[in-house]
Amino acid sequence: MAKTYDVNQLRGRPIGRILVKMGKITREQVHEALGAQKQRGGPLGQILSDLGYVDSATVGLALGFQIGMEYVDLDDIEIPDDVLKQVSSQMANSYKLIPVEFKQSDNHLVIAIASADNFHATDDLRTLMSYDVTAKIADESKIENLLVKHYGTEHESMGELINEIATDGQLTMLKDRGESIDLDTVMEVADSNPVKRLVNMVLLEAIRNRASDIHFEPFENEFKVRYRIDGHLYEMLPPPKSIALAIASRIKVMANLDIAERRVPQDGRIELLVNGQPVDLRISV
């Protein structure tokens, strides 16, 4: 039977009372922890964990309820493949999240996270994927199990993604069109899931490898993606040249630049928090 929690009864309550209402601790244990808090200070949830009454995952759930996050029991839902595909393996594992619902009509994605402190996951998904994101709280162990089940430990490869792009009907229509693409089409392809995943893969891989520069370089007959690491340029598997404009437009969207302007140079920035570390990307197109 699925667990249920009435968030309206828990929102804004002291953490000790929330844990009591969840049935995880007793009032006597709360009073003991409050006494210890008066003596040594520190968050009550951490003290309860140190005393062995609850684990950190349970405290994380309680903190989510405290700020009004809705609970989702991941044992009680089947997640469709098209929802899982909205987030790459690389992003799901990096941010420790599971997508559970997606409404394409308003670009709304619902994700499950294990801690209210993981707010950067929703912020970065908005930046990287342009989703309207709602985060729900879930059991950490269930999220870990679903990450292994649906995404495994291997990240999606560039080769797999390029093969998907090569068969994507919307993107293959760009071939041989050069710059003669209307603004509406540019906006559509910049927002296509494969293009967003490709740009995110390149950015996150560059961050992981501590690259100082990322070069997206359209040439007459090819499109190159290169990283500069310790002064040396390393070339990635090249995406199709036909999506060069889609990639450039996607980066403009992420950096809040003018997607319609193709003649005048523009500068911007993309701010992320990857694995708990702030990353500031300076963009020049």
pLDDT tens digits, 42-65: 999 999 999 999 998 899 889 999
| 2 belongs to a structural domain | no
| 124 belongs to a structural domain | yes
Q: Which of 66, 84, 100 is the last residue of a domain?
A: 66
Q: Under a CB-based contact definition with an 8 Å cutoff, are residues 68 and 83 in contact?
A: no
Residues 192 and 280 in one domain: yes
Q: Domain of 52?
A: 7-66
pLDDT for 109 equals 95
pLDDT > 90: percent of the chain: 39
For residue 110, pLDDT over 90 is answered with yes
Residues 172 and 267 in one domain: yes
Highest mean pLDDT among 77-86, 162-171, 212-221: 77-86
Q: What are phi and psi of 86, to 5 degrees?
A: -70, -20
Residues 166 and 140 in one domain: no
CB count within 10 Å of CB 47 equals 20
| 1 belongs to a structural domain | no
Q: Which residues contact 36 (CB under 8 A, 6 or more apart)?
A: 47, 51
pLDDT for 177 equals 65
Residues 147 and 199 in one domain: no
Total domains in the fold of the chain: 3
Torsion sign, CA atoms 79, 81, 87, 89: positive
Tokens in use for 235? 């070339």
CATH code for the domain in which residue 202 is found:
3.30.450.90
0.75 exceeded by pTM:
no
Q: Which of 131, 151, 171 is the last residue of a domain?
A: 151
pLDDT for 1 equals 41
pLDDT for 241 equals 85
Q: Which of 151, 184, 199 is the last residue of a domain?
A: 151
Q: Over the Cα atoms of the chain, what is R_g?
A: 22
Q: Which of 72, 115, 80 is nearest to 96 (CA)?
A: 115
Q: What is the pLDDT of residues 143-194, one digit of tens each?
A: 999 999 998 866 667 788 888 887 777 777 777 666 667 788 888 888 888 8
